A and B are shown apart, each in its own frame.
Chain A
Amino acid sequence: MMEEILIAGFGGQGVMSMGQLIAYAGMTEGKFVSWLPSYGPEQRGGTANCAVVVSEEQVGSPLVSRPTTAIVLNNPSYEKFEPMVRAGGLLVVNSSLISKVSPRTDIRVLNIDATDKANELGNPKVANIILLGAFLEETGILSDESILEALKKVLSPEKHSLLEINRQALELGRSLTKAPTH
C-alpha cells in the first residue's frame, strides 16, 4: 500500500492541518509517512497545498506529482489537480465551492458539499474534517481512532473542546460517501 495524497485549497481552509492529521495518524499506526507543504511567498486567501505519503515501505519521494488521491477544496485547486490524479485514483471535491463536475471516468470522484454540511454542524471550519472522513471511508487507510488521537496532538489543549465536533464531522464525512455522487 502506498497512498500519495495531495490536498489543496485556500489558505485558512485547514489544508495543511488535514495533511498533518493523516501523517500523524499514519505514524501512530506504524506506517511510513511524509508531509510536505507547498511553501512560497504565500498570503492569506492564496492557494496552499500539501503532499502526504502513507506507505508500508520507507517513503522515497515526499513530492507528489501524480496523486493516488487529490482532495480539492476550491476552484483553482480543482483546475490544477483534477487532471493530475492517477488513473484508478480518487478525487474528493468540496462541491460547496466547486461547481464543476469531473468528467473523468478513469477515477473515482466524490462530490461532497463539505462547507454547507459544516455550516449545518455549526462550525464552517470542520469542512476539511468532513472531506477527510469521506476520504477515509473510501480508502480505508486509517482508523478514526488514530485520527482523533492525532487531533489531540495537533489541537492545543485549550481547543480540546472542539474534539467532539471534529468527531461528528469525521462521522458525517464517512456517511456522505454512501450516496452515489458520480
Chain B
Amino acid sequence: MGKVLMKGNEVIAEAAVHAGCKYFFGYPITPQSELVAYMARRLPEVGGLFLQAESEVAAINMVYGAAGTGVRVMTSSSSPGFSLKQEGISYLVGAELPALIVNVVRGGPGLGNIQPAQSDYFQVTKGGGHGDYHTPVLAPSTLQEIIDLTEAAFDIADRYRTPVILLGDGMLGQMMEPVEFKELSERKPEQKEWATTGTRGDGKPRIISSLELNADALEKRNELLQKKFTMIKQNEVRFETFETEDADYIVTAYGTAARIAMNAINKARKDGLKIGMIRPITLWPFPEQPFIATRDRVKGYLSVEMSAGQMVEDVRLAVEGKAPVSFFGRTGGVVPTQEEIYDQIIQLAGGVEV
C-alpha cells in the first residue's frame, strides 16, 4: 500500500479496523481524541458502528454488551477516563469477554495534565479494578509497531477471552511517523460458541455474567481464571533486546521512554561503553527471561520511565537482587531527554574514559 504519514492515534484506529474491529464506543479526551474522531469517520465506511457514549463508564459497558455478541470491539481513553473504565474492565474479566481497551497515558494523578506520561503502569499491570486479575498489556514504541500490536491485542483477547490493554502515551498518540498497512481484507468473523446471539432452539441458553453468589463456585471460577493467566504468562510474553550479549549495564524502558533511551545508548556505545537495552513489549506478562539471562553477569540495570518508578519494581522482582537496579524518571508529563538519560548512563558506568 506504500508508506503514509499518520498520527499515532489515527494509526491505532486504522490498525483496529484492519484487525476486523467494527465497533467503537468511547468518549473524547486529550491526548487521544483523534482516535475517537477517526473512528467516527472510518467505521461507517466499513459497515461498522461508532457511538460516542455519554461517559467513559457508559462506553465500557457498551463494550461489554457488544463483546457478549462475539464481535471485535474496542474503546479508548486517556488516564482519567481510563480510571473510570476500571469497573467495566473487571466485569469483562469476570465475564471472560474479549475486547481492546486503549490508554493513551497523560500526566497524573487526578486530572493532571495532557502531556505524555507512563504513570499508569501499576494500574494496567496489577489489575486496576477490583478482584484477582491481570489483563495482558501491550506497549508499542513506534507507530509501525502499533499496527502489529493492535492486531495481536485482538487475537490475544479472542484466544483467551479476556480484555487486552494497548498502552501508549501522549507523545506516541500525537506524533507522526511513516507507517505501512497491509491491504485491507474482509475477515470472516470468528465463530464463538459462547457468544449470546439469540436462541434458536439450538441448545441451552447461553449466559454471560460475572456474578457468582456461591463462594465455592466463585473460587472455582477464580482458579480457572488463574489457570488462564498462567497460560498467558507462558505463551504471550514479548520483548526486544539490543546488544545485551556483551553489555556491562542494561537500560530497560518501554514505549516512548525506550525510543528516547535508544539515542542515549547509541551515543554511549560510540563513547566505548558497553550498554544494552531490554525493551518489554508486554508489560503484563512482564518479560522476566531477558533479566534472568543477564542478571548474573551485568554490573547493573537502569530502568528509565516517565513515572516516579513503577516498572522498576517488576525489574527488581525479575533480577532477584542478583545485580543492582537503579531508576531514572521524570513525572507530571515531563519527558526525559536523551541528554539526561545519557548522563544517567555515564553516572552509572562511573564516567567515560577520555
Contact = CB atoms under 8 A, between A and B. Distances in A.
A63 interface: yes
Nearest to B3: A27
A40 interface: yes
Contacts of B170: 39
Contact of B266 (A24, A34, A60, A63): A60
A152 to B, nearest CB: 13
Interface in B13-61: 30-31
Contact of B174 (A23, A24, A36, A60): A36
Given A23-B5, A34-B176, A65-B338, A60 B115 contact: no
Nearest to B178: A27
B92 to A, nearest CB: 31
Interface string B97-129: 000000000000000011100000000000000
A167 B354 CA distance: 49
B115 A40 contact: yes
A127 interface: no
A20 B171 contact: no
B260 interface: yes
B87 interface: no
B299 interface: no
Nearest to B267: A60
B339 interface: yes
A63 B339 CA distance: 11
Contacts of B335: 63
Contacts of B263: 60-61
Interface string A13-42: 000000010011001000011111101110
Interface string B146-184: 000000000000000000000000110011111000000
Interface in B303-346: 335, 337-339
A63 B260 contact: yes
Q: In which size bucket is the chain B interface?
A: 20 to 34
A163 interface: no
A162 interface: no
A62 B338 contact: no
Contacts of B176: 20, 23, 34-36
Contacts of B113: 40
B174 A39 contact: yes
B259 interface: yes
B169 to A, nearest CB: 12
Contacts of B251: none
B259 A35 contact: no
Contact of B5 (A24, A39, A59): A24
B259 A60 contact: yes
A34 B177 contact: yes
A39 B338 contact: no
A151 to B, nearest CB: 13
A39 B262 contact: no
Given A27-B178, A62-B175, A39 B337 contact: no
Given A34-B175, A37-B174, A65 B5 contact: no
Contacts of A174: none
Given A27-B178, A60-B266, A65-B339, A39 B114 contact: yes
Nearest to B170: A39
Interface string B267-283: 00000000000000000
Contacts of A20: 5, 176
A37 B175 CA distance: 7
Given A27-B5, A65-B338, A60 B262 contact: yes
Contacts of A61: 259-260, 262-263, 337-338
A35 to B, nearest CB: 4
Given A23-B5, A36-B171, A40-B115, A60 B177 contact: no
A66 interface: yes
A59 B177 contact: yes
Contacts of B262: 60-61
A41 B112 CA distance: 13
Give the top 9 A-B pairs by smallest Cβ distance, nearest first. Answer: A60-B262, A65-B337, A35-B176, A60-B263, A61-B260, A36-B175, A27-B178, A61-B263, A60-B259
21 contacts: A20-B5, A23-B5, A32-B178, A33-B178, A34-B175, A34-B177, A35-B176, A36-B174, A39-B31, A39-B170, A40-B115, A58-B142, A60-B262, A61-B259, A61-B262, A62-B175, A63-B171, A63-B260, A63-B337, A63-B338, A66-B339
Given A34-B175, A35-B175, 5 more contacts: A20-B5, A34-B176, A36-B171, A39-B170, A62-B177
Interface of B: 3, 5, 30-31, 113-115, 142, 170-171, 174-178, 259-263, 266, 335, 337-339
Interface of A: 20, 23-24, 27, 32-37, 39-41, 58-63, 65-66
